[in-house]
Structure 1
Amino acid sequence: MDNEVSIEDPSFQEKELDEIARKISNLDKWREIFSYHRLEINSTTHQKLQDSHKPADYGKAVSGSPQDKGQVQYPSKVLYSLPDPSINSKWGCFPVSLAMAMGLQKILFGNTIHDFNHAWKKSYFKFHEPSSDLSYALEIGKGGSRAIQMAVQVNILKYLLFTRSEKGSDFCSLCKTSHGEQKEALSAALADTLWTAGERQKVIICAITSETYFPSTRDFQADGLTERFQLFEFLEKEDAKKFIYDHLQWFKGEGSHGVILFLYSLLFSRTFERLQKDLDISTPHLLQPSGADLICRQAVLNLILTGRASPNVFNGNQQGNSQDLLHGVLTRSEVGYLQWKKDSFEQQKLPQVGSMLKTPKFPIWLCNISGTYSILFSDNKLLLSDWKMEHHFGLYFYTGHPYQKKAAHLTVDTHSHHWEEVQQNENHAPKRPVEMVIRTKWKGASVNWNGTLPFF
């Protein structure tokens, strides 16, 4: 009985209080973890579970309390789950600020009241079926976001054909792209694009959270997305690539707003300061209204293709009509760009694409044909490094349209006299858009569709 401790003993009471405090501390820790992952238990949890099989309306505002108005309704399946808090010490992680959100809207729309339409918000990156004729290609949506998807597709092809292996790959291997290779290719393409835009120094990746970090103000209209961003900072490309791969659902999941997330990540990685230096008087902001849609200006495409938001396609800088300096492409790009318009008068007004974009390091081109985007590419890495290769060669053509079940194989002959013959009578000059855009690069070339009925 001498060793028995009385509950009235002060030391016993102190130990009891310490134990209670420890349990409360643990409870608070778990509450923070559950709250961080949006698993907090509340009065609506049971109802949410009951509604888990109902289709979510991603663009519709959630009705209810005033603070919910204007917010995006998230799907029952969590697509936006953030990483474990313990990794935040490894990479910089911070919420978007009001000033950053306003900067985003101004650089995109020129003001802080515009918003993305439904077509933009539902756009994401989705591949065709693995191991199919188009397993290497994205399914391209409708509207203004098509341009971004096609530009990313260019970098996916660059990875699959030329940069994932020193030996390179051929077209046949593209058509055998597996689900795992699709994930690897998209992660690599996004990471490489962001890394190049960040001057190979830093990558910023946006994630959508359930928390609203600031409300609408007199100068800022909340859109249900921008005020919910959490930003992750990486100083190494491989870290960014692994992070994207681990959270690829943010960009490729239905309802993920994947294209917008990538675009915002691209702008944050580039930084507002660099973007202001990239742009000129011809392009004060990056998106342009077109009817009910928003279309990308050239600066957005150049940012994805070259890492710099140059507003023009010519080489270097040129004086404009108002004597202001217009900014073009400063260095030879890894992937290229070609353009052509059906209207001959409009074609004459188009600025000439310079050699920096027309002759890239890899034979892949994003093509703008009268405002519609497509891709020309070759699996011959030496095509643009040996002039003899350009006498007679093959190109593949992908439009991204649902009716196209496989890439068209074209044969280009730059030594044919066909063009000289038809030039004797301009009324008989071929006007097939694909052939004309090819001739902006290889003047006088003849194009054989190899039995495929020309469809563009």
Structure 2
Amino acid sequence: MQVSDQEQSSRELDLEEITRKISFLDKWREIFSYHGLGTNNKTAQNHDGNHASADETEDAAGIPQPRGQGHLPSSSLCSIPKPSIISSKSGGFPISLAMATKLRQSLFGNTIHVFSYDWKKAHFRFHEPFSDLAFTLEVGKGGARSIQMAVQGFIIKDLLFTRKGKDCNFHSLCTISKREQAQALAAALAGILWALGEAEKATVCLVTEDTYVTSNPDYWGDDFTERLQLFELLEKEATEKFIYDHLQCFQEEGSHGVILFLYSMICSRTFERLQKDLDASTTHLLQPSAGGFRCRQAVLNMILTGRASPNVFNGCQKGKSQEIIHGVLTRSDVGYLRWGKDTSEGDRLSQVGSRLKTPKLPIWLCNINGNSSVLFSTNRQLLSDWKVERRFDLYFYSGQPPQNTPVHLTVDTHSHHWERNQHEDGHVAGRWFSPVEMVIRTKWREATINWNGTNSFFSRESQYVQ
């Protein structure tokens, strides 16, 4: 019997919810045990009235798993391979309880929440080399997806505009080798961390064999954060080389690679700078969503601009309570476009400012109806020469499974005024636009988009515009 996508998605959400409840139940057991309030019963009841075994859970192979990991007993569906670890004698300095607590508070606003299954399994993995998608990352579901797609923008930046002796064309992106993939990923991650450290220092977090922090009633461990070592690099080139040498810690299945990178981002930015970047509208970086957590705008702006600005407008503005709220201060190499249900056209605070819409390079992270994707041009002069901007090509990558090659679009910003309010059949009315077209039109308002024969779900998912 076939299972629909909706039913499959519902089952995955159910698994995440069960996982979350088991994790919370185990944490309460630790607190009761700490205070000598253990029970002789084999089952215990949580605050939702659900029961679970008090025994240690096991994975699909029958191997005991530590409590609080979010694993379902005997379920291969939620089995996550152990993360890639390095020797505890590698030269970093161990994480402290105070730092682990600050990390958790910076992300969740408390020390109780832990990452969901989708976050734990997320890592940076490329499609096959020498293929139409050789330059792209495989991205999954959940909140980690937006980080993967933001990093994707910087991978494209490196491959198109940073590498020396390489042609800046689309064909060159599809002919990269596995080694070139690794070099581009290391360069992208290092560049982001170096910018967050204000070109002075970058910090890389890796998992070691030893545990440096133990759980207590005020800090609920996840058997991952407590094993971190932090490595400080004082040069950008040294940061890139260090990441390249330890790339398996971010790339391998089960590496928790996206979480490691997020931790490295926060530590590179430092807690002090992070608090100055944020404001009353955003006090922590992740937001609960559908049984997991999604990134707030501040996380994406950290990657794009090097600052955890919570908003997308230019500069600083006054909020509803007259408090100062922070937007984007400078143009960045990779920009940002947004269209759809996450925005309110009448809300000036949600409108993307010109600094994000017009980056230094023609690459944009896109938020379309809450889903992350990347839009880019291979022409470096696109945003600096008005003649180039009259008619040009863009490439679109969504990361969704139906897409097996980037979509090639031709954008014409010189449309005729008499064609704006009528269909091809001559009837004066509105028109159906793809969400991809709509997000492009937030940058080039009167543009018409030619899909160059593309017959995909991108052009069929349309929106009626008056």
Report TM bin, short chain: 0.7 to 0.9
Match runs of 1:388-403 below 5 Å: 388-403=387-402
Preserved CA contact (<8 Å) 1:375 1:397: yes
Structure 2 counterpart of 1:436, one-letter code: M
RMSD value over aligned CA atoms? 2.5
Preserved CA contact (<8 Å) 1:419 1:444: no
Match runs of 1:5-404 below 5 Å: 62-63=64-65, 69-70=67-68, 79-82=84-87, 85=89, 88=91, 93-165=92-164, 169-341=168-340, 346-349=344-347, 351-404=350-403
List runs of 5+ in structure 2 lacking aligned partners: 1-57, 72-78, 459-466
Structure 2 match to 1:429: 431
Change (3 A) 1:416 1:153: same
Structure 1 counterpart of 2:87, one-letter code: L
Identity of aligned residues (%): 61
Residues in 2 aligned to 1:419 and 1:351: alpha-carbon distance in whole angstroms? 31
Residues in 2 aligned to 1:119 and 1:266: alpha-carbon distance in whole angstroms? 19
Residues in 1 aligned to 2:61 and 2:271: alpha-carbon distance in whole angstroms? 28
Structure 2 counterpart of 1:404, one-letter code: Q
Residues in 2 aligned to 1:141 and 1:60: alpha-carbon distance in whole angstroms? 27
Give structure 1 regions of 4+ aligned residues with deviation exceeding 6 angstroms.
58-61, 71-78, 423-426
Preserved CA contact (<8 Å) 2:396 2:408: yes
How many residues of Structure 1 are paired with residues of Structure 2 in the alignment?
A: 390
Structure 2 match to 1:4: none
Change (3 A) 1:207 1:307: same
TM-score normalized by the length of structure 2: 0.79
For residue 451 of structure 1, the aligned residue among 443, 450, 453 is 453
Preserved CA contact (<8 Å) 2:337 2:357: yes
Residues in 2 aligned to 1:336 and 1:225: alpha-carbon distance in whole angstroms? 33
TM-score normalized by the length of structure 1: 0.81
List runs of 5+ in structure 1 lacking aligned partners: 1-55
Preserved CA contact (<8 Å) 1:341 1:347: no
Change (3 A) 1:415 1:75: closer
Change (3 A) 1:325 1:75: closer
Structure 2 match to 1:442: 444
Residues in 2 aligned to 1:355 and 1:215: alpha-carbon distance in whole angstroms? 47
Residues in 1 aligned to 2:271 and 2:333: alpha-carbon distance in whole angstroms? 24
Residues in 2 aligned to 1:417 and 1:329: alpha-carbon distance in whole angstroms? 34
Residues in 2 aligned to 1:388 and 1:332: alpha-carbon distance in whole angstroms? 21
Change (3 A) 1:167 1:207: closer
Structure 1 counterpart of 2:194, one-letter code: W
Structure 1 match to 2:31: none
Structure 1 counterpart of 2:86, one-letter code: S
Q: Which one has a bigger Cα radius of gyration?
A: 1
Structure 1 counterpart of 2:330, one-letter code: T
Q: CA deviation at 1:168?
A: 5.1
Q: CA deviation at 1:82?
A: 3.1
Change (3 A) 1:221 1:77: closer
Q: CA deviation at 1:149?
A: 0.3
Q: CA deviation at 1:420?
A: 5.0
Structure 2 counterpart of 1:80, one-letter code: I
Q: CA deviation at 1:252?
A: 0.2
